[in-house]
Amino acid sequence: MTIEYVFAVSFVALLVAGILVRWILAQDSGTDKMREISGSIKAGAEAYLGRQYRTISIIAVITTVILVLAIRDPLNPWLGVDTGVGFMLGALASNLAGYIAMFISVRSNVRAARGAMKSVDSALKIAFRGGIVFGLAVVSLSLLGISSLFLIFNGDPRLMVGFGFGASFAALFAQLGGGIYTKAADMSADLVGKVEVGIPEDDPRNPAVIADLVGDNVGDIAGRGADLFESITAENIGAMILGVAPAVYGIFGINGLIFPLLARSSGLIGAMIGIFFVYSRKNEDPFNSLVRGLVVTGVISAAGFYFLTLVLLNGELNYFYAALVGIIAALIVAVITDYYTSYRRRPTLEIAKAAESGAAPSLVTGLAVGMESSVLFIIVIGVAILLAFWMGNGFSSLGDALDFTSPTFQRGLYGTAIATMGMLSVTPMILAMDGFGPITDNAGGILEMSGVPESAREVSDKLDSVGNTTKALTKGYGVASAALSAFLLFSSFLEVAGLKGVDLSRPSVFTGAFIGAMLIFFFSALAIKAVGKTSAVMIQEVRRQFKAMPGIMRGTEKPDYSKCVDISTKAALKNMVYPSLLIVTGPIIIGVLLGAEAAGGLLMVGTIVGVLMALFMNNVGAALDNAKKYVEAGHLGGKGSPVHAATVIGDTLGDPLKDTAGPSLHVVVKLLNTITLALAPLFIYALLH
Amino acid sequence: MTIEYVFAVSFVALLVAGILVRWILAQDSGTDKMREISGSIKAGAEAYLGRQYRTISIIAVITTVILVLAIRDPLNPWLGVDTGVGFMLGALASNLAGYIAMFISVRSNVRAARGAMKSVDSALKIAFRGGIVFGLAVVSLSLLGISSLFLIFNGDPRLMVGFGFGASFAALFAQLGGGIYTKAADMSADLVGKVEVGIPEDDPRNPAVIADLVGDNVGDIAGRGADLFESITAENIGAMILGVAPAVYGIFGINGLIFPLLARSSGLIGAMIGIFFVYSRKNEDPFNSLVRGLVVTGVISAAGFYFLTLVLLNGELNYFYAALVGIIAALIVAVITDYYTSYRRRPTLEIAKAAESGAAPSLVTGLAVGMESSVLFIIVIGVAILLAFWMGNGFSSLGDALDFTSPTFQRGLYGTAIATMGMLSVTPMILAMDGFGPITDNAGGILEMSGVPESAREVSDKLDSVGNTTKALTKGYGVASAALSAFLLFSSFLEVAGLKGVDLSRPSVFTGAFIGAMLIFFFSALAIKAVGKTSAVMIQEVRRQFKAMPGIMRGTEKPDYSKCVDISTKAALKNMVYPSLLIVTGPIIIGVLLGAEAAGGLLMVGTIVGVLMALFMNNVGAALDNAKKYVEAGHLGGKGSPVHAATVIGDTLGDPLKDTAGPSLHVVVKLLNTITLALAPLFIYALLH
């Protein structure tokens, strides 16, 4: 088994993605009215992404120049150039991944809408295949990029960190910008449309409705595409760096380095086969169809790990068990997320119930649920890391009294790397499930706006609620994989920075750690504020249009959608820059002033706090959203009741938490890791000491 | 200068407190009606605290037995007994501190109310002197306890950790129980009284009003008393343990150990002089009077540090500078807290402004303000730790490349200990300012309920709004001192557990750290939920009374106050146990399973996350409260407007955050530290490894 195999699988996956694109484009795109609406969404999304990528490119070019000039290593005079070029390629590939995701989603949405007019199966297939196209494309792109660099750098993964840094750098801007865009539009559309004027969701009379639909594509789709592109890229590089540790390289040689790439390829194969299992039999819950596809992918991936362990890792099956730990942890995390956010479960029902006493009791309960939702999650992640480490070194140690450079320790870490690979092996299918949500959401919006019969709306509503569940699950998965990848990258950072450990009882490290935690709070505050500020502007605009054009409400006048699209676009571009630069410069300042160990403290505690805050914000938002959905389904007084009004406040409060700040934190966690890894050479000498 | 001096100053302080109590009791206690209301508050508070202390005692006795049996040390067979006895004494002293605080506050409130009918100066003096009585008593109690143990244990501070553990153990129950009590009553009184029935705050027709007023005494007063008793106790013990480090003990001998006790005595002297500077000249803002008292105390304390450095520390003035760093950091923290929570400043005004678009935008802004409020705070704490460390070792190192046992490192740590002493030296005055708030709040309630002329109400309102500001400031101070004390205790923990460091890149330590962060979220969730659940029950009861007794609203029938007092009492006692035990058992389980270093990870990251979450919750609550006050002052539509309704939702949401979960986290942070310190002998051998 060699690296050529990785190229082959990636090309096949791209080919399959291409065939699926042709299939999707061949589907009926509905009535003229539907095509017109879809065209507006497409135009808005393309215009926004174009401008976003231009902004990111300018910042990335400046950063590249700084990297080339600043990174100096006497042993490797080309390190700065290598890092800079890798960075540029990583940023480019990340943008490409986001663009492909958006490209296919704005074409699938209208066809899925048309499909909903026929059957659940038809709509499900189109929406899911739209999702899997970018799942396959994103993973193949990452594999192709890393494998090429692996060949160029002669198998030294430490030279590839620039690529990971570039990918997370671009991903942060994309996720944050997209998140601001989508939630500012969503909040404004809801607050004026639903609450003040009393028109339903996605009503064509709402001036912010197109901006809202564009937002799903640039935030949820393009943003998450860049996010997971970055996850798998960083994880692969981190795992390969652990593969060059003497105790691992000494036994497995180059096999230990290409194992991560081949393991990912087996996930691609699993997903390509899994596609055939996603269909909806009569009356089958569409959610089950998606889960069936995921399980098939997981089983084939596991089989791939078994085979690869036999061929590449001398048949040491303890590594296969470590991979299973990762796969199983991913499933448990999904179940936990479902428990805390689904309205069939106690926590969300309690939020809805508390709304009977008013908005405040409901929100108080919501915050408590969000905080509590981290408990089991963290225990699962902790146990998974310990188990995988223990399996990695042949069930001999949890590492507490070991030296960092001991073979037992290094082999244990390689075990945690393989568990992370296991968890991330199902990424293509997860991306498909994740993309499914916004595509069906868009399809529903298009149907509502084009005034089609109620029956089609029912199909899309059904799929939309499944999409809400899958979106929450895949976010939980995103956080879990960020936590595991980060732990890999910690170890890689110590390796690259030449540290023996990160000792929190030192004042400089404690200060760094405190600042790491603080950066997470600061970033979240800025992200949330950006949404608040933008929606305040847009709310004024929407109110103005309703007032200036009375024909809108009567349906005789068309609202000026482009004005709202424009507000979101400008605000997102403006507000994504400052918080992102904060995350980039924070670790650099601490590293340069206080040294590599303080930067390590920042990175590790920033990661822990980032994971917890992301969980909190994602789940509080999802639970509040679903509490509202529960009431809208006719419980506790139903739509229009005071209880409903209370839950609408909760939903709106949760929006920027769950779709702007929360998902951006996934990327922040990984960016903190790749940035310290790439810039470790700068931190060797602390300015203050 | 010897330890006898500490006893002398403590006794003088107790004497002064006694004289002030006589003075307060000699003041006019108003009309019969006022005395009757005050009597109900007193009876409710005494009954609750009695039952609370009984519950704590039972749990404390069980814990003592476990400590005596479980702690085994071959070098010191009596360690278990010593720890157990210290624990019992610590818990007892903490309860006593809380009881004294409550005793004086329920007697000052009615006299301050009567004073408000005369002049601002009269009410200010009574309320402030009520606060300073327990400020002096709490600090003297702590000093007497520690000094006695110091003599009993022959000057080995490591045997005194049981006392600190006992104090924090009892404090957590007291703060959490009191916090649940006060906020459940407050939320219910507001939601039904203000929002549903439309009667003003503290209206005698509200069945929950007495429970609300009792809550101020058992939550804000008794709870905070126990909290700060614990802070200064833990800090003194931690500083003394650092004083026995070879590099410090080698130079200063026993002087380095008694320095912390004498430094605290100089703070007591400062406060006793500061009392005379708190009076209100004509038209003077009462806030300025309090600040004048604080500044005098700070200056005298600083002079005391200067003198003690000359006498005890060979005149090494760098330690004096470290103390100044602590005092100045305390002042800056107060300014930052004021900025983020006062309605004269931009952040709170933005929250009020956002309420024009509805409750959700206002809450979103509030959450962002709360998160952002940690930024400058953390930078100040980080810089203070680094500066003090650098001063401690004679401006030679920030400690990054030093060995933990090197003299430079140990002397640096002693510098951070002295900075913490500096910060905590003004504690008596801070406690007085903190107690001032609930006493004037109670006074206002008594005036409102007894139907006195509007003019007296104006005086008490003025003092009440000053009390709100001082409460927010002293909470900021509480968090800052918790952060600094915790850093001291980290180092003591490493010393006692024989660790070389706490290395986050180990899987067991990383897992411990993750669990530490998670415990903070879990505890907060439980605390918030307890308030939510209790208030749900009480809301039903209040609604029931209004319905069953129509005479209440007409003023012809008296509501059944005792029913609400009873609900709060039972719920607080029931719900304080489980979260507190969670915090106690969490570190023990991790320490026993994964070892001392993993427990260290839990403790350090738990501390960092606890500090940030406490800041977030305290400040989000205070800012939302003040945004409401701003609207109530007649801005943006004033009382009764939709903007007001939106800010009332925000205030109610913030209540359990700022007065239950937030302040309890101060105690949690310190309890995590004292518990790991006391139980370190149990963690030497990890069960899993």
B 479-508 near A (Cβ less than 8 A): 483, 487, 490-491, 494, 500-508
Inspect the interface and report whether the beta carbons of A508 and B358 lie closer than 8 Å.
no
A606 contacts on B by Cβ (under 8 Å):
none
Q: What is the mean pLDDT of residues A265-287?
A: 89
- pLDDT bracket for residue B200 (50, 70, 90): confident
Closest residue of chain A to B540, computed from CA coordinates: A357
The answer to whether A434 touches A131, Cβ cutoff 8 Å, is yes
- The per-residue pLDDT of chain A, averaged, comes to 91
Q: How many Cα atoms within 13 Å fall on the side-chain side of residue B62?
A: 6
pLDDT digits (tens, 9 = 90+) for B316-368: 999 999 999 999 999 899 889 989 988 888 999 999 999 988 899 999 999 99
Of B41-50, B199-208, B393-402, least confident by mean pLDDT is: B393-402
Shortest Cα distance from B55 to chain A (angstroms)? 26
pLDDT digits (tens, 9 = 90+) for A115-140: 999 988 899 999 999 999 989 999 99
A193's CB contacts (< 8 A; 6+ apart) are A199, A201, A203, A206, A208, A209, A542
d(CA B168, CA B675): 9
pLDDT digits (tens, 9 = 90+) for B554-580: 888 889 999 999 999 998 999 999 999
B583's CB contacts (< 8 A; 6+ apart) are B172, B519, B523, B668, B671, B672
pLDDT higher at B200 or A650: A650
What six digits make up the tokens of B90?
């610590």
- pLDDT bracket for residue B667 (50, 70, 90): very high
pLDDT digits (tens, 9 = 90+) for A426-439: 999 998 998 898 99
Q: Is the pLDDT of residue A299 over 90?
A: yes
Q: Closest by alpha carbon to A24, among A121, A99, A130, A136?
A: A130
pLDDT digits (tens, 9 = 90+) for A373-407: 999 999 999 999 999 999 999 888 887 777 777 88
Q: Considering just the CA atoms, what is the radius of gyration of chain A in Å?
A: 24
Q: Is A244 exposed, middle or buried (0-12, 13-18, 19+ CB in 10 A)?
A: middle
- pLDDT bracket for residue B521 (50, 70, 90): very high
- The pLDDT assigned to B453 comes to 80
Inspect the interface and report whether the beta carbons of B487 and A494 lie closer than 8 Å.
no
pLDDT digits (tens, 9 = 90+) for A588-623: 999 999 999 999 999 999 999 999 999 999 999 999
Q: What is each CA distance from B503 to A681, B163, B600, in whole angstroms?
A: 21, 29, 9
Q: How many Cα atoms within 13 Å fall on the side-chain side of residue B3?
A: 18
Shortest Cα distance from B400 to chain A (angstroms)? 6
- The pLDDT assigned to B689 comes to 64
The answer to whether A354 touches A361, Cβ cutoff 8 Å, is yes
Shortest Cα distance from A311 to chain B (angstroms)? 28
- The per-residue pLDDT of chain B, averaged, comes to 91
B 509-528 near A (Cβ less than 8 A): 509-511, 513-515, 517-518, 521-522, 524-526, 528
pLDDT digits (tens, 9 = 90+) for B216-253: 999 889 998 898 899 889 889 988 988 888 888 889 98
A180 contacts on B by Cβ (under 8 Å):
none
pLDDT digits (tens, 9 = 90+) for A512-551: 999 999 999 999 999 999 998 888 889 889 999 999 999 8
Shortest Cα distance from A272 to chain B (angstroms)? 35
Q: Is the pLDDT of residue B130 over 70?
A: yes
State the DSSP string of B253-317.
TTHHHHHHHHHHHHHHHHHHHHGGG----TT--HHHHHHHHHHHHHHHHHHHHHHHHHHHSTT-H
Inspect the interface and report whether the beta carbons of B528 and A504 lie closer than 8 Å.
no
d(CA B439, CA B454): 19
Which residue reads 């993973």 in tokens?
A: A139
- The pLDDT assigned to A284 comes to 82
pLDDT digits (tens, 9 = 90+) for B50-72: 999 999 999 999 999 999 988 87
pLDDT digits (tens, 9 = 90+) for B382-432: 999 999 999 998 888 887 777 777 888 889 999 999 999 999 999 999 989
A360 contacts on B by Cβ (under 8 Å):
187, 191, 648-649, 652-653
Q: Is the pLDDT of residue B639 over 90?
A: no
Q: Does B665 touch chain A (CB under 8 A)?
A: no
- The pLDDT assigned to B1 comes to 63
- The pLDDT assigned to A689 comes to 64
d(CA B426, CA B423): 7
Q: What is the mean pLDDT of residues B165-179?
A: 94
Q: How many Cα atoms within 13 Å fall on the side-chain side of residue B456?
A: 24
The b/e string for A79-109 (b: 16+ C-beta within 10 A; e otherwise) is bbbbbbbbbbbbbbbbbbbbbbbbbbbbbbb
B 335-354 near A (Cβ less than 8 A): 354
The dihedral formed by the CA atoms of A537, A539, A540 and A542, expressed in degrees to the nearest 10:
120
Element (H, E) at B454: helix B454-497
Q: Is the pLDDT of residue A75 over 80?
A: no
Element (H, E) at A104: helix A79-116
Q: Is the pLDDT of residue A1 over 70?
A: no
pLDDT digits (tens, 9 = 90+) for A471-517: 888 889 889 988 988 888 888 888 788 888 888 888 999 999 999 99
Q: What is the mean pLDDT of residues A13-32?
A: 95
d(CA B594, CA B579): 22
Strand partners, B503: A503
Q: Is B299 exposed, middle or buried (0-12, 13-18, 19+ CB in 10 A)?
A: middle
Q: What is the mean pLDDT of residues A71-77?
A: 79
The answer to whether B675 touches B584, Cβ cutoff 8 Å, is yes
- The pLDDT assigned to B614 comes to 95
Q: Does A608 touch chain B (CB under 8 A)?
A: yes
Of A192-201, A237-246, A642-651, B323-332, least confident by mean pLDDT is: A192-201
Inspect the interface and report whether the beta carbons of A400 and B657 lie closer than 8 Å.
no
Of A67-76, A561-570, B237-246, least confident by mean pLDDT is: A67-76
Inspect the interface and report whether the beta carbons of A357 and B609 lie closer than 8 Å.
no
